[in-house]
């Protein structure tokens, strides 16, 4: 059985994230979507870890081989603790590749059994990011085309409370 990790901050999950997760689910026996703490954004997230996990679970409930978890530490350590040797990273643009490639090399140095698989996003999601969704939602704009349908109302409700 080949298991893979699909890490990210998912703050919140977008259609671009879901596309990568769905495609990874066809390539691997099990995919663990891991909500990671982004040390650049520590303490500055729109959604709690628990809220992000709930949104991902709701968006992926039709995918039997998806599990959702969270971790606050090094991805290579998570992989070793859970006996996972593959990480799946989505790429939107060449600029993503530079930082993701650096991370892949560092992860490989930390855990020699850890391989990175890059999946290029579909063209219709190249511009899409969680920060774009947050910005549109904060100003009351229509972001329905940017997030998975099962979580649209949850995200709208989150921004109504603010």
| Model confidence band, residue 96 (pLDDT cutoffs 50, 70, 90) | confident
**Catalytic option among 9, 25, 52, 130:** 130
Answer yes or no: is pLDDT of 100 > 80: yes
Task: Note if 41 is an active site residue.
Answer: yes
Contacts of residue 69, defined as CB under 8 A and 6 or more positions apart, other chains included, come to 32, 33, 34, 35, 53
pLDDT (tens digit, 9 = 90+) per residue, 120-139?
999 999 999 999 999 999 99
Average pLDDT of the chain is 93
Residue 42's pLDDT is what?
Answer: 62
The active-site residue out of 41, 99, 109, 131 is 41
- Active-site residue 130, yes or no? yes
Give the model confidence (pLDDT) of 38-56 as tens digits: 666 666 789 999 999 999 9
Beta-ladder partners of 88: 117
Strands 86-91 and 66-71, how do they pair?
unpaired
Domains of the chain are 3-161 (3.40.50.620)
């Amino acid at each position: 059985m080949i298991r893979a990790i699909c890490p990210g901050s998912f703050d919140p999950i977008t259609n671009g994230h879901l596309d990568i997760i769905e495609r990874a689910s066809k390539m691997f026996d099990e995919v663990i979507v891991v909500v990671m703490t982004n040390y650049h954004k520590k303490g500055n997230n729109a959604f709690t870890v628990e809220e992000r996990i709930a949104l991902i679970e709701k968006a992926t409930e039709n995918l039997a081989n998806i599990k959702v978890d969270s971790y606050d530490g090094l991805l290579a350590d998570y992989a070793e603790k859970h006996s996972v040797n593959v990480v799946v990273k989505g790429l939107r643009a060449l600029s993503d590749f530079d930082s993701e490639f650096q991370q892949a090399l560092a992860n490989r140095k930390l855990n020699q059994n850890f391989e990175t698989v890059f999946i290029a996003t579909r063209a219709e999601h190249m511009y899409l990011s969680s920060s774009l969704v947050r910005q549109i939602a904060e100003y009351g704009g229509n972001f329905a085309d940017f997030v998975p349908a099962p979580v649209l109302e949850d995200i709208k409700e989150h921004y109504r409370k603010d």
